[in-house]
Amino acid sequence: MFLRLKASASYWLARRLFHWSWFVRQPRGWRWLEGQFARMANLGDVGAQSFYGHILTFRGVGLGAREEGVRLLRLAALAGDGKAAYQVGVISLAGTPSKAPDPAEAARWWTLAAKAGHPLAELKLKELSARD
């Protein structure tokens, strides 16, 4: 209980410090931020999974970081996060080095995103059905 509360407080502070560019540019500062994001995501916080998943997917260094980012986005999407579901759909349609593009999987993720209220998901579903 106490450790979860400590993790939540540290995560809250890390999210605030993330907007301070001078702090993010410091290697020690960035490592601390990443540690807080990763700890909260590993505790199952959907918002943290989505946030850290986006960071790793689009700004991560190396294939391993990007794969972990997609994994976190999938977990958040399955828990009902519309933004994460939308991004997993985009990734599914584009494909990855380890997986070929899959329009059917993209449609499945965009359907989840649309149910969660993501504004672009319906548009992407219409574009995808028009392609066929």
What b/e string do you get for 105-127 counting C-beta neighbours within 10 Å, with b at 16 or more?
A: ebbebbebbbebebebbeebbee
Helix and strand counts by DSSP (H, E) for the chain: 8, 0
Local confidence band at 132 (pLDDT 50, 70, 90 cut-offs): low
Mean pLDDT of the chain: 92
Would you state the structure tokens that stand for residue 1, as one six-digit string? 């209980």
Q: pLDDT tens-digit profile of 29-78?
A: 999 999 999 999 999 999 999 999 999 998 888 888 999 999 999 999 99
